Structure 1
Amino acid sequence: MNQTTPGSESNTGERIETDALGSRPIDDAHYYGIQTVRALENFSVSGKTIADIPGFVEGIIHIKQAAALANLAAGGLPGEIAEAIVAAGEHCLENFEPSQFSVDIYHGGGGTAANMNVNEVIANRANEVLSGRKGYDHVHPNTDVNMAQSTNDVIPSAMKIAVYRLLSQLEHTVSGLVDALAAKEVEFASVIKLSRTCFQDALPITLGQQISGYRHSFQRALRDLEIAKAKCLHLPLGATAVGTEFGALPGYKAAVHVELSRITQLALEPEENFFDALQNADQWMSISGTLKSLALSMAKMCNDLRLMSSGPRAGFAEITLPAVQPGSSIMPGKINPAVPEMAIQVYFRVLGNDATVTRACEGELDLNVWESIILNAVTESIVLLNRAIPLLISKCIAGIAANEATCRAAAEGSLALSTAIAAVFDYPKAGSVARFAAERGLSIKDAAVQMALLSQEEAEELFEVSLFADTLRYQKVIQKYRLLAQQGELGGSSDGITGSTW
């Protein structure tokens, strides 16, 4: 191999690049350079690269373009070089080749390898624009592409841009879930079922009311996602290495945010305190916590769906979920709640990612160096939720069917209906009716009639189970019967059961 100057082409299809540790031959087919090659040798661990993180490399490239224009305005870069950097970035985005951004997401150095990977690709492409060949004769990855920047402010800024866009997608996804639940809420508005507390029979509600609780939790999640997105609009860009803005020319900080806002179409602003922004990563813990809360609400709902659809002959059997696949390799006819179980596993992963983010946010001294794993964990959680929720909607929620007769029968048989006796008479009488019903295998309605507390007609009205799920009707009927009880005008003649019971 012929010796050539650093960054120049040899006649063997290779070029020689030099960094602080020495020189290396680089296959000239690659736009990345020596520091990326070292990263490939040092950190090939997970098989997941920075190009696999949606929007991350795009965010870095946009920062490089904005920085070039800001440095041009501040007098740091000649127009020709700034324009070549911008053009190189545009070329990389329009002809995106993941293999050129191949640094493993698990890499040390606080993201330096990721930043340099992009710097090298843009520099080599910019030199092609200016000279027709790769190399750093005109545009250098550090001197020019990275001017007025540090990995320490570029990487967290690119992370926020990428996560903002992913959160926007997740908002749309969760809105779809809210709409799907709202439709089911209307469909099941009149389906009376038994509620359960501590896994025990409680008062009747409608299936629509139960679903309204799920819907509202996801509406709250939407508000939390909006707050999380807002955190992503404040960037440490301009802080450079440690927050002092060292290396940036006057006017650069304002200009780079203006240019980046224009390029990304986002209302980006500098962080209020750059030292805080570099030292502390608690905003990521907050964002991850929002994702965990959303995933938890999804998992809770899915566990409830599994319980309510259990059986179908020896379980709750209140609802039927769509059959998406056979449920057993040995038991014909068995159907599993496979889609809710998939979604619950997504929750487990989001929960694990949140634990990773929590530890990674601890940091130390003047920089949090664990941002690569934070980025991987947060974006994986968003991507999983973005993929799981539409499947949950289309393959489960949209096809839920209510087993109305089963639901009503369970509601009518609940001993908790004795609560109406407590509201009309008092708690001790209600307890006696519940015991009487339990001992004899009766419904509360029949027990109240046999105990001569109510006539059959009165019991039919008071224990109509739909009454218990309708606050306004309940209040009117209970007030009516309370007044009748006070006037001694309820029930039939005493047959001895009442006296012996209490």
Structure 2
Amino acid sequence: MFKNLNQKNNDSIRVEKDSIGKKEIAADSYYGINTIRAQENFNISRQNIHPELVKAISMIKKAAALSNFELGLLDEIKKNAILEACDEMIDSNLAEKLELDAFQGGAGTSTNMMVNEVIANRALEIMGMQKGDYDIIHPNDDVNKGQSTNDVYPTALRIAVLKLLGPLTKSIAKLQEVLQVKEEEFSSIIKLGRTQLQDAVPITLGQEFSAYAEAVNRDRWRLYKITDRLKKINLGGTAIGTGLNTSHSYIFKIAKHLRNFTSLSLSHSENMIDITQNMDIFVEVSGLLKAASVNLNKIASDLRLLASGPTGGIGEIKLPAVQAGSSIMPGKVNPVICEMINQLSIEIICSDQAITMAARDGQLELNAFSPIIAQKLLNMLEMMKKAIDKFNNKCVKDIEVNSDKCKQILDNSLAIITSLVPYIGYEQASDLAKEAVNQDKKLIDFIKEKDIISNSKLDKILKLENMTSPGNNLSE
């Protein structure tokens, strides 16, 4: 089964031709002339087409073969061989082995043609025929029957995105869950809040984690809601969405079979021309991933800052140590998982910009730049899922609090003076804070010395637990 996609060392060759001319190809190659030309033209990046896209295209080929058979347009022997080859493409790890640069001209034609050729040659092999016997099974006339790259590729990309969105949203939901566990675990830890990296009023560490959890929850919900719009497809629209060379029966059948093969509730768009030429749905998905990466970056940056030190920084929390941090400084441990998240965010934001520009630059009835949209978007989905899992398992779930440091920093700050403002006014509170600093005295002791408010009333006003929720610090 697909032992050699392109056997370089085989002495025997076959000759294939296209509208440009003829080309010698290794006889055992599953690739045909279109794939070989594309490999020669686009070998620039070391990045192959994403395997989920290949699998999605193979599902479409399977649905097309079954539909064409039911309509009497494909005989049973060909149909069975094509279906078996498609199943091997979908179920095996072959998709990861196909070699074709992701950055290619032609709106994905090279990708579609490669899948056509590999399936056709494998189907020929299944039938006991020689690869390249296209008069028996032809990549275009049989495997691609009733299709165009321009309806196959956008549909396949939607399927691939939906397949990767599911695991990603589950990982985001797990991160939210772990953050909520930390919210509860740290609910009694009162610490100094900070604005503009300067001392602010008290907050609990649990409240800080509650904000992280809520932000992640929004990301999960937004990505969940986008799935309905991704399920609109243009399959059957062929070249420009008008449905040339197809029938209503074919369009109905291929959608039905594709729903069964993908387990997705796909439906045809009422305007297949729109789906063929416009890529804004992928800009929308990319934008949501960018928003999620922004929130992840904020959380990771906060954790790095709160864990800074251990003696020369804030040091209010401890991140789990996962590897040595320096080749010269013994004992140094760096927040590498958070830094990985920071870099992921950079990559996601840059990819979103690329997708935006590629979608913007489509012209008339087709967008020629769908390959870069596919590569960037599918990589974003896969990378984010893996990164969140690492962030969750190697960082967030094992965060510990340094409660002594939290108390020390809070006790030495001027944050509590804000609670006196309703009683003595902003100006007098400001003067007291300044005077306490000048005399190098602890603020609460200095205020008691001034005897501005009775100690019993002051104890309630300045009770730290009362400063972290509305109204509790106000004395009746």
* TM-score, scaled relative to structure 1: 0.88
Which amino acid letter does the alignment assign opposite residue 155 of structure 1? Y
Give 1:189-338 correspondences, 5 Å limit.
Answer: 189-338=187-336
Give yes or no for contact 1:361–1:368 (8 Å, CA) kept in 2. yes
Ranges in structure 2 where 5+ consecutive residues have no aligned partner: 1-9
CA distance in 2: counterparts of 1:197 and 1:477, whole angstroms: 21
Give yes or no for contact 2:236–2:250 (8 Å, CA) kept in 1. yes
Give yes or no for contact 1:127–1:137 (8 Å, CA) kept in 2. no
- Please give the per-residue CA displacement for 1:82-126, whole angstroms capped at 9, x wherever unaligned: 333212212333444358632211111111110000111111222
Give yes or no for contact 2:32–2:114 (8 Å, CA) kept in 1. yes
CA distance in 2: counterparts of 1:118 and 1:211, whole angstroms: 47
Partner of 1:104: 101
Ranges in structure 1 where 5+ consecutive residues have no aligned partner: 1-10, 481-502
Q: CA deviation at 1:461?
A: 2.5
Q: 1:48 to 1:420 in 2, by over 3 A?
A: same
Equivalent of 1:62 in 59, 64, 79: 59
Partner of 1:466: 465
Flag the structure with larger Rg.
1
Give 1:75-154 correspondences, 5 Å limit.
Answer: 75-98=72-95, 101-134=98-131, 135-154=133-152
* TM-score, scaled relative to structure 2: 0.93
Query: 1:442 aligns to what SS in structure 2?
Result: coil
CA distance in 2: counterparts of 1:94 and 1:448, whole angstroms: 73
Partner of 1:379: 378
Q: CA deviation at 1:15?
A: 2.1
Q: CA deviation at 1:314?
A: 2.0
Q: CA deviation at 1:74?
A: 3.3
Which amino acid letter does the alignment assign opposite residue 368 of structure 2? V
Partner of 1:183: 181
- Please give the per-residue CA displacement for 1:227-249, whole angstroms capped at 9, x wherever unaligned: 23333211121111111111112
Q: 1:54 to 1:35 in 2, by over 3 A?
A: closer
CA distance in 2: counterparts of 1:12 and 1:211, whole angstroms: 65
Query: 1:193 aligns to what SS in structure 2?
Result: strand
Partner of 2:439: 440
Q: CA deviation at 1:351?
A: 1.3
Partner of 2:43: 44
CA distance in 2: counterparts of 1:78 and 1:311, whole angstroms: 72
Partner of 2:474: 478
CA distance in 2: counterparts of 1:41 and 1:237, whole angstroms: 29
- Please give the per-residue CA displacement for 1:163-192, whole angstroms capped at 9, x wherever unaligned: 111111111111221121111111111001
Q: CA RMSD in A?
A: 1.9
CA distance in 1: counterparts of 2:115 and 2:308, whole angstroms: 53
Which amino acid letter does the alignment assign opposite residue 126 of structure 1? A
CA distance in 2: counterparts of 1:333 and 1:128, whole angstroms: 60
CA distance in 1: counterparts of 2:96 and 2:200, whole angstroms: 59
CA distance in 1: counterparts of 2:136 and 2:103, whole angstroms: 32
Q: CA deviation at 1:12?
A: 5.7
Bigger shift: residues 227-236 or 383-392: 227-236
Give yes or no for contact 2:53–2:160 (8 Å, CA) kept in 1. yes
Query: 1:201 aligns to what SS in structure 2?
Result: strand
Give yes or no for contact 2:108–2:370 (8 Å, CA) kept in 1. yes
Q: CA deviation at 1:398?
A: 2.0
Give 1:325-404 correspondences, 5 Å limit.
Answer: 325-362=323-360, 363-404=362-403
Bigger shift: residues 31-40 or 457-466: 457-466
- Please give the per-residue CA displacement for 1:238-295, whole angstroms capped at 9, x wherever unaligned: 1111111111123111111111001111101112322221221111111111111111
Give yes or no for contact 1:445–1:459 (8 Å, CA) kept in 2. no
Which amino acid letter does the alignment assign opposite residue 29 of structure 2? H
Q: CA deviation at 1:320?
A: 1.4
Partner of 2:5: none
Query: 1:55 aligns to what SS in structure 2?
Result: helix
Which amino acid letter does the alignment assign opposite residue 229 of structure 1? T
Bigger shift: residues 392-401 or 128-137: 128-137
Query: 2:102 aligns to what SS in structure 1?
Result: coil
Q: Percent identity?
A: 37
CA distance in 1: counterparts of 2:422 and 2:213, whole angstroms: 31
Q: 1:121 to 1:455 in 2, by over 3 A?
A: same
Query: 1:251 aligns to what SS in structure 2?
Result: helix
CA distance in 2: counterparts of 1:293 and 1:263, whole angstroms: 32
Q: CA deviation at 1:222?
A: 0.5
Give yes or no for contact 1:101–1:118 (8 Å, CA) kept in 2. no
Aligned length: 465
Give yes or no for contact 1:168–1:229 (8 Å, CA) kept in 2. no
Give yes or no for contact 2:419–2:473 (8 Å, CA) kept in 1. no
Partner of 1:499: none
CA distance in 1: counterparts of 2:84 and 2:318, whole angstroms: 57
Q: 1:162 to 1:322 in 2, by over 3 A?
A: same
Q: 1:157 to 1:349 in 2, by over 3 A?
A: same
Q: CA deviation at 1:435?
A: 3.0
Give yes or no for contact 1:110–1:371 (8 Å, CA) kept in 2. yes
Query: 2:346 aligns to what SS in structure 1?
Result: helix
Q: CA deviation at 1:34?
A: 0.8
- Please give the per-residue CA displacement for 1:370-401, whole angstroms capped at 9, x wherever unaligned: 11111111111122212212221222112211
Q: 1:127 to 1:100 in 2, by over 3 A?
A: farther
